[in-house]
Amino acid sequence: MDDTEKKRVRHALEAVGGIMMMQGVVGLIHAFTGWLTWGLIRHLGFLDGREVYGSITLIVLAVAVLAAAESRLGPRPEDPDREDPDPEGPGPKGSDQQA
């Protein structure tokens, strides 16, 4: 899998995870306050009376999808414009100790 394919898969997983997270949060907000009636969870008939559990499950699954996007495909590439604050690393050991 080349870099462009990895980026596409990562972006797709991040989009799916973000939508899942948003729907889970909207479901919890609706369950506790009655606001935001456009969420997916409340329209699923088999979850009648169990919307809170469905919303929490959706949030947990969203975290898993987002973690899979990050870990399976490797870390995001570093920003090429970002400069390393100390390219040489820390000084020699013991240099801050007095003789």
Query: Span 80-88, mean pLDDT?
Result: 58
Other CB atoms within a 10 A radius of the CB of residue 89 amount to 6
pLDDT at 44 over 90: no
Q: Output the pTM of the full model.
A: 0.68
Nearest to 51 by CA among 75, 80, 25: 25
The count of C-alpha atoms lying within 13 angstroms of the C-alpha of 79, restricted to the half-sphere facing its C-beta, is 4
Alpha carbon of residue 29 to chain centroid: 20
Q: 48: which 2 tokens?
A: 């009648």
pLDDT band at 62 (very low <50, low <70, confident <90, very high): very high
Q: 71: which 2 tokens?
A: 């870990």
Query: Span 50-55, mean pLDDT?
Result: 93
Q: Which residues of 31-56 are buried (b: 16+ CB within 10 A; e: fewer)?
A: beeeeeeebbbbeeeebeeebeebbe
